[in-house]
Amino acid sequence: MDKIYFNRMSFYGYHGVFEAEAQLGQRFYVDLVLALDLSRAGASDDLNDTVNYADIFDCVRKIVETERYNLVEALTARIAGQLLQSFPIAEVTVKVTKPNPPINGQYDSVAIEMTRRREDMNV
């Protein structure tokens, strides 16, 4: 299976269990790995034979910036499900990084990563 990678897309969202997170918001980073057959696109050099990168970006941006979730786990699952539903991909790995969660201590970030397959999602 071929893969398309989206690395460290940056969005501003209002996700988290605390009221301050819902009101102030914060930066979130999203990485994707899309698994699909790219042999036709490689031979044809035609955008219609692959997924449009801008459409993928816009789909993720809309979810992160306009929807609200308490848990990064729910946000990550929502992105994976919507991508599988909206685009002809066989499998997606979504990693959502929250660089500044309200944790008292030293750390770089917290991230959730999920892999979902079309065959498992009934889409």
Q: Write out the catalytic residue numbers.
A: 98
Greatest Cα pair distance, the chain, in angstroms, is 53
What residues have CB less than 8 Å from 78, skipping those under 6 apart?
A: 63, 67, 69
CA distances from 13 to 8, 45, 57, 63, 67 (A): 15, 36, 15, 9, 8
